Amino acid sequence: MLAARMRFVQYLRKGDLAKRLGLLADDQKSLVELSGVEGVPCDLKTLIAQSPNLEELSKKAEKQPKLAINDDVTLLPPLTDPGKIICIGLNYQDHCDEQNKPAPKEPMFFSKYNNTLVGPKDNVIAHKASDKIDWEVELVVVIGKVARQVAKEKAFDYVFGYSVAQDISARDWQKERNGGQFLLGKSMDTFCPLGPAVVHKSLVKDVYNLPLKTWINGVEKQNGNTGNMIYKIDDVISRLTESITLLPGDIILTGTPKGVGMHRSPPEYLKPGDVIKTEIEGLGTLTNNVVAP
């Protein structure tokens, strides 16, 4: 019962001025509100930092009424203000292969900003500044407690859960402009759809056996498996915390499999009117429309 309920969402009801915290049903069709429970905050980052007793939280949630997810409910990113959004490039062997590049000798870290975050059904802007906007499905790791100098064998103790991200990328700004620095190409507004939930790690039996896919306009473009990561989650957390303190609610995007638009023949890029569907089995689905600015 505990694992089946631990899918955390942030949302708005029609007329709300402040976000609410809830638990999403497995079918993504309904939720129960947590932020109405005594002692429970209205945002997930604060809840994670409190190290809540999830058994007690689950029992309280069972007494809450269900709310159908319809046009009066807007799912937000399950985390709207992580302290850090850390990404890893070239972390799937088949993604290296499609570029004719060797696997990196150590993880290639970069970052995105919070302005990129949008919800599971929000629009992605096709910014006029770029004509090479691309897709990347990614497994997200959510940090559960303060992490410094973490030994590899202890790394999963610091994981709260997992989510789904679409790491939208302006390839011209990532590869050809800005001196080769990734930041602008990765951090344009709306360039990180996230959600629909943060799924507690207790619900994920094997994080290294999760199919992850992207469809554009109903056509499958990416079909990979998290087992093909080059640098695994425990290794990544250990390496990062040698020099960076990770905090509750920080997120790590762990890389993408082959099938991105840039490395197709001919290359394919997103344009207004396109629909991006992103899915990781057991974690959920994002459906985002691409719109003009």
What pLDDT is stored for residue 23 in this prediction?
96
Q: What is the DSSP letter of 187?
A: -
pTM over cut 0.95: yes
Q: What is the pLDDT of residues 258-273, one digit of tens each?
A: 999 999 999 999 999 9
What pLDDT is stored for residue 26 in this prediction?
86
What pLDDT is stored for residue 1 in this prediction?
42
Q: Give the residue-averaged pLDDT of 127-142.
A: 98
Q: What is the pLDDT of residues 212-231, one digit of tens each?
A: 999 999 999 999 999 999 99
Q: Give the residue-averaged pLDDT of 14-25.
A: 95
Domain boundaries defined on the chain: 7-75, 85-291
Percent of the chain with pLDDT over 90: 93
Least confident range from 59-68, 74-83, 92-101: namely 59-68
Q: What is the pLDDT of residues 34-56, one digit of tens each?
A: 998 888 999 999 999 999 999 99
Residue range 85-291 in CATH 3.90.850.10: yes
Burial of 2 (0-12, 13-18, 19+ CB in 10 A): middle
- For residue 21, name the pLDDT band (cuts at 50, 70, 90): very high
Structure-token pair, residue 74: 């807007």
What pLDDT is stored for residue 28 in this prediction?
87
| Average pLDDT along the chain | 96
Cα–Cα distance for residue pair 118/114, rounded to 1 Å: 9
What pLDDT is stored for residue 2 in this prediction?
47
Percent of the chain with pLDDT over 70: 99
What pLDDT is stored for residue 62 in this prediction?
87
